[in-house]
Amino acid sequence: MDAILKALPIIVLVTLGVIILILGYVKAPPDRAYIISGLGKKGRILIGRAGIRVPFFERLDRLYLGQITVDIKTEQSVPTNDFINVNVDAVAKVRIYNNPEGLQLAAKNFLNKDPKDIAGDLQDSLQGNMREIIGTLSLKGINTDRDSFSDQVMLKASKDMEKLGIEILSCNIQNVTDENGLIKDLGADNTALIKRNAAIAKAQAERDVQIAQAEANSKSNEANVTAEAEIAKRNNELEIKKSELKILADVKKAEADAAYKVQEQEQKKIIETVTVDAQIARAERESELRKQEVQVKKQELDAQIRAHADAERYREEQQAEALLYKRKKDAEARLYDEQKRAEAEKAKAEAFRFQREQEAAGVKAVGLAEAEAIEAKLLAEAKGIAEKAEAMKQYGEAAVIEMVVKALPEIAHNVATPLSKVDKITMYGDGNNTKLLKDIVEGTTQVTDGIASGMGIDIKALISGFLGGKASTVVAEKPEQE
């Protein structure tokens, strides 16, 4: 029991503490200020945080800190500085200063009041300030420069609101009207002015557009003309360049053709020069070119005639050589036959002489005189036969010489025949008549040399020997005749 009595004060204190905590715990929201006063000289202010109020000994008051909208209207018409009665409807946004001084001033005036009550308290003061500002402005100034009007109202009302702990956040002019409809007339006047200015601006704009369009068309036309002229110039330069390139290509082609065609046309000079001035000299170049072509054709014709003559001469030479070779073989055959006949006759004579000798030996007994006569006869016949064989041999050489001599005119004729068919002969280098005769004689000499090398018969030596023998015979016979 004593223990309970001893613990009773503690229990009472704890119970009182719990009661105080339960009854005295407060928590202020962010948009309100809780003011606790009673025990101290200065009250405690709680904004957005919790605190303890001692029940029965401390007081709790609330102050709204949020934004408050105040509708400011002029209940009666207010004259402007140009004596025009107007009605103005505006809206102001205000709040209580969030600092100790502002909170103290606001607590004295708006403690435990709702936002609507605070707005009602401020409305009269803000309306009075707006009326004062309206009296200093003109109707046109109020309508055309509402920002300046609202700024002046805020500046004028801020001084009064600071005394109450109120901060003006903004002031917006909603509507301005007048009793006589002057604002509407000003609007109509402005509308007409605006329409007139718009029409003038439109006409000027159309004019400017037309001028700009004309200038643009002119510039476009000039640009087109310039572009076409530039294009024509470029095309002309391109054609000239193509002509130059074609000329260079033709020149190169002419040079290449002349290289493997043995300068067929001597490169034809220069086929068309680069500039238009070349057309003036073109006639002269063409004339020169024709002369060169005639010269080239003449050279080609001379070359063709010479080649044809050489071919004909070569053909005639081959025919002459073939004919000469045939005659040579025929002469050799005849000579061979004659030699064989002479040898046969000689052999026959030897055989006949041997036979006679045998017969003479056989009939030697008949008589020496008769035998000698027969022997002499046989010897005479054998000598005649031998001389005949020798004559036949000599006759063979004479026949060969005769055939060759008879063939020489024909050989010369065959050599000269191709030349007789040539209408014109162009001699190059040392060409003349003497050279031509020399070529003919050399051609004939080549034929005789060919016979000598092919048949082994030196016609020159044979004829010389034959003529020399004849001459010695004539010389030998002439003194005897004398």
The string of pLDDT tens digits covering residues 201-248 is 778 878 888 888 888 888 878 888 888 888 888 888 888 888 888 888
Q: Is the dihedral of CA 182, 185, 189, 190 positive or negative?
A: positive
Confidence of residue 67 (pLDDT cuts 50, 70, 90): very high
Closest C-alpha among 171, 178, 182, 175 to residue 147: 171
Q: Which residue has the tokens 């004729």?
A: 413
**% of residues, the chain, pLDDT over 70:** 72
> By the 8 A CB rule, do 272 and 278 touch?
yes
Range with the poorest average pLDDT among 32-46, 95-109, 124-138: 32-46
Decide if pLDDT at 121 tops 70: yes
Q: Give the helix/strand (H/E) hosting 26.
A: strand 25-27
> By the 8 A CB rule, do 141 and 91 touch?
no
> By the 8 A CB rule, do 342 and 397 touch?
no
Confidence of residue 479 (pLDDT cuts 50, 70, 90): very low
The token duo for 64 is: 């709204």
Three-state DSSP class for residue 111: coil
The amino acid present at 280, given as its one-letter code, is I
The string of pLDDT tens digits covering residues 11-35 is 878 787 777 778 778 888 988 999 8
> By the 8 A CB rule, do 45 and 33 touch?
yes
> By the 8 A CB rule, do 60 and 36 touch?
yes
Interval 169-174 mean pLDDT: 88
Angle, vertex CA 379, rays to CA 374 and CA 384, nearest 5: 125
CA dihedral angle for residue 262, residue 264, residue 269, residue 271, rounded to 10 degrees: -120
Strands (E), 38-187: 44-47, 50-52, 59-64, 68-73, 78-79, 85-96, 166-178
For 112, 163, 419, the CA distances from 108, given in Å and listed in that order, are 10, 11, 158
Interval 47-69 mean pLDDT: 88
pLDDT of residue 70: 93
Interval 55-61 mean pLDDT: 84
**% of residues, the chain, pLDDT over 90:** 7
